[in-house]
Amino acid sequence: MSYIVPIGPYHPSLEEPIHARLITEGELIKDAEIFIGYNHRGIEKLATQKNIIQTLVLVERVCGICSHSHAMTFAMACESISGIKVSKKAQYIRVIIAELERLHSHMLWLGIALHIIGHDSLFMHTWDDREVVMDALEELTGNRVNYGMITYGGVRRDITPEQAQNVLKMLDKLEDDLKRLTDFLLNDKTVALRTQGVGILTTEDAIRIGAIGPHARASNVPIDVRKDAPYSCYDEFDFDKAVWPSGDVFARVVVRALENFESIKIIRQALDSMPKGPLNLGTKIPTIKPGEYMNMHEAPRGQLSYKVVTNGTDKVARVSIHVPTFKNAPTVPTMLRGNSVADAGLIIASIDPCFSCMDR
């Protein structure tokens, strides 16, 4: 006999609302459905009612974890429409903040995954290491969340030599801690029992459904906007795509752990070879010409896309935001089928969902 087991949309263990409907036979999930749209905030509509400076501040608040990604992607689209040139120095600083943001996002998710698995001690160690990344972001930008670093034509703040040295020292310690953490994740029996063979998304299904970001790379789909369609100055840095073949929750853990080392490599290269040049346009208020442009950015969760349409006024005519969670959420029913109800929460969490982003 089949039973329907609902998860969400409102539940004490869910920080954000999503509704998963599980069709079960005993503890076995035979089928599943995912429902979204419980957290709509009307940001795309609001963006057409604000001037371009206000809109830049607004889109940064689509998500607290990947706020820099949203501001950077929107700014790059507007800059492309109007032909605004960003100095190499400003591009390097943008990349440094983007990769620090990727570090803190991945470590946040790893901590939550370990908490769901039941490894609360390691969860606290992981978030303790994440804290030093947040401290570095605060030192460089003045904020731990919603950094306010992006402006049209560049960035708002420089990175001083002293700040650069502090970040490099932080990365040395963090890398040592991450090596121990990654070794533990790869070899711990408890992690293996809870994650290996759980929530499998095959390479074929990942391509068919359209998975992106670390979620896709964990299913052996080597896609990464930073490599496949380099933007800003990513083509000047040496780093690798982190790919894993098994397509299960374990692979998603490993990929995000490995990507941390690639982010550290990028930040070190950018700090060591920081070019000279202006930070921004100064006090000049940019004029956004009429036009339209679609821009992509590899956010921590995957490809973030902004389609911006301007009409020559001080407001944008349309902002269409396509976020990674919206593209990865359709993979959840496929991953849930054939697994137990006890693993449902971990499988849903394994895509690193952000429903604030999705229900913008």
For residues 270 and 232, give the distance between their C-alpha atoms in angstroms, rounded to a whole number. 12
Q: How does DSSP assign 69-108, residue by residue?
A: HHHHHHHHHHHHHHTPPPPHHHHHHHHHHHHHHHHHHHHH
pLDDT of 20: 84
β-bridge partners, 13: none
Closest CA to 347 of 117, 143, 24, 175: 117
Which amino acid is located at 43 in the chain? I
pLDDT of 357: 79
Distances (CA, A) of 319 to 78, 141, 309: 11, 26, 7
β-bridge partners, 320: 307
Q: Dihedral (C-alpha) 46, 48, 54, 58: value to the nearest 10 degrees? A: 40
pLDDT of 231: 92
What is the CB neighbour count within 10 angstroms for residue 101? 23
C-alpha atoms less than 13 angstroms from C-alpha of 73 in its C-beta half-sphere: 30
Per-residue pLDDT of the chain (360 residues; tens, 9 = 90+): 678 888 877 765 556 677 888 888 888 889 888 888 877 788 999 999 999 889 999 999 998 888 999 999 999 999 999 999 999 999 999 999 999 999 999 999 999 888 888 888 888 989 999 999 999 999 999 998 899 999 999 999 999 999 999 999 999 999 999 999 899 888 888 888 889 999 999 999 999 999 999 999 999 999 999 999 999 999 999 999 999 999 999 999 999 999 999 999 999 999 999 999 999 988 777 778 899 999 999 999 999 999 999 998 889 999 999 999 989 989 999 999 988 888 888 898 888 888 777 777
pLDDT of 127: 92
Which amino acid is located at 142 in the chain? G
Q: Do 251 and 244 touch, CB atoms closer than 8 A?
A: yes
Q: Dihedral (C-alpha) 34, 39, 43, 49: value to the nearest 10 degrees? A: 130
For residues 336 and 31, give the distance between their C-alpha atoms in angstroms, rounded to a whole number. 7
pLDDT of 353: 85
For residues 196 and 117, give the distance between their C-alpha atoms in angstroms, rounded to a whole number. 12
Q: Which helix (H) or strand (E) holds 327?
A: helix 324-328
Q: Do 243 and 220 touch, CB atoms closer than 8 A?
A: yes
Domain spans of the chain, in order of start: 39-325
- Exposed e or buried b per residue across 290-304, where buried means at least 16 C-beta atoms within 10 angstroms of its C-beta: ebbbebbbbbbbbbb
pLDDT of 291: 92
Task: Tell me which CATH code domain 39-325 carries.
Answer: 1.10.645.10
Both tokens of residue 334? Answer: 């496929």
Q: Which helix (H) or strand (E) holds 19?
A: strand 19-25
